């Protein structure tokens, strides 16, 4: 190697995510306590989830079902033989002083999910992110800190055990992610899959989906990983992306200035848009795992496994591929339509009822989504059925009503429901697209406004707008706009 010449080192980031998904079962993982969020502190508790001596946990079968479905959807191998282990650590919100988790034999391993980013030209760029493992475990409780040393002279901490024993699936990715954008998309895709399966509501504000990021940087070409730093406390996809991009810059900056990175956990400060050190890590923690003696190992009968697999819905990535290849929709439209399973199913039901794909997509992504957002509603709450939307699209395509008229009818259809055809008839709204009828109306208009006609023919052509206005007024907005304009111009020019 030539010495003395300055070498410009390029760095790359190596990123992996650990995601905790709260499984949306009605009861906890090892007891019958409710998992309802937001109830009074220490209301949903019993001797089992409070970790009293002598109690026996029993695995909630729905937790196993949800974990297997999630693992299958993430293309994992479902283990023939799996077990629970005790992970020892002391924390005030963990009454047993250990957490029941899975260590060396998780329920699912070796999977992947596909993320899709859209490049500047609008084309999808797809990448597989490996899934190392998915395992089941119980959540810990929650500490609530109160008081103030400065104001009252005392501080206190309260503990709420409502969350202890709430079932979690922890999903660990391979370090395949290279940027904040890829990480945010990975987390979003994971959430989509969980929501499609109905196994986790993905509510980040309530903590139903929590992501921890491991990130290191290394010079491109170097095989050895750099110092791994963990970031916590990101409660939106946006924050995940920005925290990672910030951290990549920070770590490269430290290395370039000759500094050293330490293994540590950092917190994302949303307000200041930066990460700050929370605690240094000294080597790997020793949790002294050992097999949970009170729970039997898990072996799932083949028929049961086959049944759960058969119950999986078409997943978001499959839908995206199908909408693009079969329906010819753009990558952008496809992403929006498949983001939420209920919206995708509404769209598909509209097509099944005869609506054209492009029109149905435009209505759903445009006016209908606008209405849902402004009213804070889910698509299932609107009175307009997919069949009625298909009928409305049919009326436009048959030239019975204009798009403008359809838009005017929409608010009533969204809130009252019913048949667009019947509504059009009841309101006498049929579009006038008969050439003879329109010509007769235009003739009348020209006779009624001789001055304007003379001025138009004298060169003041912008008076066309005046005549269009009169025509729409006279027809109550029912004139087929395209045809009416053509005919009007012809007549105005005296043809």
Instruction: By CB under 5 A, name the binding residues for Zn ion.
Output: 31, 33, 46, 48-49
Q: Which is nearer to Zn ion, 35 or 233 (CB)?
A: 35
Counting every residue, how long is the chain?
A: 495
Q: Which is nearer to Zn ion, 166 or 172 (CB)?
A: 166
Cβ contacts of residue 69 below 8 Å, gap of 6+?
A: 197, 199, 308, 311, 312
Q: How far is the CB of 161 from Zn ion (least distance, A)?
A: 8
151: tokens are 């104001």
Backbone angles phi, psi at 101, to 5 degrees: -140, -165
Number of other CB atoms surrounding residue 432 within 10 Å: 17
Asked if 460 contacts 379 with a C-beta cutoff of 8 angstroms, the reply is no
Q: Which is nearer to Zn ion, 11 or 37 (CB)?
A: 37
Q: How far is the CB of 347 from Zn ion (least distance, A)?
A: 41
CA distance 405 to 122: 32
CA distance 168 to 88: 17
137: tokens are 């475990």
Maximal CA-CA distance, the chain: 101
Q: How far is the CB of 134 from Zn ion (least distance, A)?
A: 24
Q: How far is the CB of 85 from Zn ion (least distance, A)?
A: 20
Q: How far is the CB of 25 from Zn ion (least distance, A)?
A: 13
Our separate counts of H helices and E strands in the chain read 16, 14
3-state secondary structure of 265: strand
Q: Which is nearer to Zn ion, 31 or 384 (CB)?
A: 31
> DSSP H helical segments within 121-226, as ranges?
180-197
Q: How far is the CB of 31 from Zn ion (least distance, A)?
A: 3
Asked if 193 contacts 74 with a C-beta cutoff of 8 angstroms, the reply is yes
Q: How far is the CB of 34 from Zn ion (least distance, A)?
A: 9
Of the chain, the end-to-end C-alpha distance in Å amounts to: 85
Q: How far is the CB of 61 from Zn ion (least distance, A)?
A: 16
Q: How far is the CB of 210 from Zn ion (least distance, A)?
A: 22
Q: How far is the CB of 27 from Zn ion (least distance, A)?
A: 8
| Side-chain half-sphere CA neighbours of 378 within 13 A | 7
Q: Which is nearer to Zn ion, 32 or 399 (CB)?
A: 32
Q: Which is nearer to Zn ion, 14 or 50 (CB)?
A: 50
Q: Which is nearer to Zn ion, 33 or 190 (CB)?
A: 33
Q: Which of 258, 103, 9, 254 is nearest to 266 (CA)?
A: 254
Chain centre to alpha carbon of residue 76: 21
Asked if 177 contacts 243 with a C-beta cutoff of 8 angstroms, the reply is no
Q: Which is nearer to Zn ion, 165 or 226 (CB)?
A: 165
Asked if 315 contacts 309 with a C-beta cutoff of 8 angstroms, the reply is no
CA distance 276 to 265: 9
Number of other CB atoms surrounding residue 18 within 10 Å: 16
Q: How far is the CB of 44 from Zn ion (least distance, A)?
A: 7
CA distance 403 to 111: 47
Q: Which is nearer to Zn ion, 51 or 418 (CB)?
A: 51
Q: Which is nearer to Zn ion, 52 or 440 (CB)?
A: 52
Q: Which of 41, 137, 146, 21 is nearest to 89 (CA)?
A: 137
Q: Which is nearer to Zn ion, 49 or 393 (CB)?
A: 49
């Amino acid at each position: 190697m030539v010495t003395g010449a300055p070498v410009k080192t390029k760095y790359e980031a190596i990123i992996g995510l650990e995601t905790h998904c709260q499984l949306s079962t009605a009861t906890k993982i090892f007891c019958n306590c409710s998992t309802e969020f937001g109830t009074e502190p220490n209301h949903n508790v019993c001797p089992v989830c409070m970790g009293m001596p002598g109690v026996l946990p029993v695995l909630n079968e729905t937790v196993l079902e949800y974990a297997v479905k999630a693992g299958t959807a993430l293309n994992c191998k479902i283990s023939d033989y799996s077990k629970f282990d005790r992970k020892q650590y002391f924390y005030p919100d963990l009454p047993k002083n250990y957490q029941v988790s899975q260590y060396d034999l998780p329920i699912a391993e070796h999977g992947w999910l596909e993320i899709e980013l859209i490049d500047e030209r609008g084309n999808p760029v797809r990448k597989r992110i490996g899934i190392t493992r998915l395992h089941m475990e119980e959540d810990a409780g929650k500490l609530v800190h109160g008081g103030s040393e400065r104001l009252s002279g005392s501080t206190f901490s309260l503990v709420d055990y409502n969350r202890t024993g709430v079932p979690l699936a922890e999903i660990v990715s391979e370090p395949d992610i290279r940027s904040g954008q890829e990480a945010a998309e990975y987390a979003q895709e994971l959430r989509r899959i969980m929501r499609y399966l109905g196994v986790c509501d993905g509510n980040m504000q309530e903590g139903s989906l929590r992501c921890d990021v491991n990130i290191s940087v290394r010079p491109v070409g170097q095989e050895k990983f750099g110092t791994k730093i963990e970031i916590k406390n990101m409660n939106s996809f946006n924050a995940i992306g920005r925290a990672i991009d910030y951290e990549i810059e920070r770590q490269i900056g430290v290395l370039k200035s000759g500094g050293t990175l330490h293994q540590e956990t950092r917190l994302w400060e949303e307000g200041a848009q930066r990460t700050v050190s929370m605690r240094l890590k000294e080597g790997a923690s020793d949790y002294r795992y050992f097999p949970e003696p009170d729970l039997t190992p898990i072996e799932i009968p083949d028929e049961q496994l086959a049944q759960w697999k058969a119950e999986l819905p078409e997943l978001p990535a499959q839908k995206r591929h199908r909408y693009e290849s079969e329906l010819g929709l753009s990558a952008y439209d496809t992403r929006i339509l498949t983001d939420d399973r209920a919206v995708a199913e509404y769209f598909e039901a509209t097509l099944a009822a005869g609506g054209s794909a492009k029109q149905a997509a435009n209505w759903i992504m445009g006016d209908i989504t606008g209405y849902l957002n402004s009213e804070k509603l889910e698509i299932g709450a609107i009175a307009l059925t997919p069949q009625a939307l298909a009928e409305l699209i049919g009326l436009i395509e048959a030239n019975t009503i204009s798009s403008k008229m359809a838009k005017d009818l929409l608010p009533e259809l969204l809130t009252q429901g019913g048949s667009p055809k019947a509504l059009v008839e009841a309101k006498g709204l049929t579009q006038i697209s008969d050439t003879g009828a329109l010509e007769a109306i235009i003739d009348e208009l020209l006779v009624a406004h001789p001055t304007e006609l003379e001025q138009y023919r004298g060169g003041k052509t912008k008076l066309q707008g005046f005549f269009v206005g009169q025509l729409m007024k006279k027809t109550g907005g029912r004139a087929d706009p395209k045809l009416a304009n053509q005919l009007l111009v012809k007549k105005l020019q005296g043809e």
